């Protein structure tokens, strides 16, 4: 039996995000098209006889105790399946927090997938239930690729994209928490969700980047940019530098720009780094996580 599993936890962008209204349970009803990308955190996960052990390294810091979603995922896995012991997790962070890139949710699912592989519980439907309990957008990472997400984000419909897209992703120094983003939402930010149908059709047809960008929209943009004008400035800089379109992802503060090809994305990322932004070139991928035996194919 294998004792450890290496896994990549892919980040995501939102091609678009609509808010349909406030629900009786206090959450907002959303409709969003999410897309996993090549930017990822790296994890090594093994079984432990003595609870959860977590080590964090990499480009960004993260909690090292029970408040970390990886820790909570391991505990939830143990409780759900009634298994003794715990997990030993090494997390190397490359995805910044507070950017709307889903790094924590992706890490959570990567831990669940690794523990399922280590214990022979791959494919158990209860993994989906655990993921949904731990976060609103976690379930989409079990599927990966392009997904239409509704409800709080836990209702996930896989989409088939007709092509791969090259991107640049950048973020100002300051992040945005999801509660902060929701605080500024008004009735003018609500819509009927039909914009996401248009995005899904464009993805399915393999629309060129310029056409896809025309359809991207984000209900959080107005309120978040009003609070953090540097996000709007970053969007403008991306377009000035040659992106065919640029948009905030999730509740911010990260921005993605569509590029014509990989070389253009590399050049955009380098230019933005020269300006002092954290920035990487990326591409769309079909997986929410990549387990060890498949890593060489990325």
CA distance 261 to 252: 24
Asked if residue 208 lies in contact with residue 297, where contact means CB atoms within 8 angstroms, the answer is no
Structure letter (DSSP) for residue 59: S
Element (H, E) at 239: helix 229-240
Angle 160-197-195 (CA atoms, 0-180°, nearest 5)? 135
Clarify whether 107 is annotated catalytic. no
Measured CA to CA in angstroms, residue 125 lies from 121, 130, 158, 215 at distances of 9, 9, 16, 34
Residue among 90, 65, 91, 87 nearest 76 (CA): 87
Query: Would residue 12 show up in a list of annotated catalytic residues for this protein?
Result: yes
Active-site entry in 42, 107, 137, 166: 137
Active-site residue (options: 12, 41, 42, 107) = 12
Paired tokens of 148: 């239409």
Neighbours of 159 (CB within 10 A): 19
Hey, which residues are catalytic here?
A: 12, 137
């Amino acid at each position: 039996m294998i004792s450890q599993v290496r896994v990549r936890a892919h980040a995501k962008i939102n091609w678009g995000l609509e808010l349909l209204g406030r629900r009786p349970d206090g959450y907002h009803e959303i409709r969003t098209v999410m897309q996993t990308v090549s930017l990822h955190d790296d994890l090594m996960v093994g079984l432990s006889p003595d609870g959860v052990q977590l080590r964090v390294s990499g480009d960004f810091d993260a909690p090292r105790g029970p408040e970390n979603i990886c820790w909570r995922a391991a505990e939830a896995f143990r409780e759900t399946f009634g298994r003794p012991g715990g997990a030993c997790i090494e997390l190397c962070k490359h995805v910044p927090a507070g950017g709307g890139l889903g790094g924590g949710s992706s890490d959570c699912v990567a831990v669940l997938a690794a523990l399922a592989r280590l214990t022979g519980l791959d494919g158990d439907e209860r993994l989906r239930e655990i993921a949904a309990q731990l976060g609103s957008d976690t379930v989409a990472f079990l599927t990966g690729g392009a997904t239409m997400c509704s409800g709080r984000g836990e209702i996930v419909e896989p989409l088939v994209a007709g092509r791969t897209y090259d991107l640049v992703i950048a973020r100002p120094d300051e992040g945005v928490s999801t509660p902060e983003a929701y605080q500024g939402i008004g009735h003018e930010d609500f819509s009927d969700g039909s914009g996401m149908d248009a995005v899904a059709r464009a993805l399915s047809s393999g629309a060129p980047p310029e056409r896809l960008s025309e359809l991207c929209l984000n209900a959080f943009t107005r309120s978040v940019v009003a609070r953090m004008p540097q996000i709007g400035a970053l969007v403008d800089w991306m377009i000035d530098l040659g992106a065919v379109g640029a948009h905030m992802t999730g509740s911010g503060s990260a921005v993605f720009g569509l590029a014509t090809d990989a070389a253009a994305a590399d050049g955009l990322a380098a230019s933005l780094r020269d300006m002092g932004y954290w920035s990487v070139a990326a591409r769309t991928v079909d997986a929410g996580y990549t387990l060890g035996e498949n890593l060489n194919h990325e």
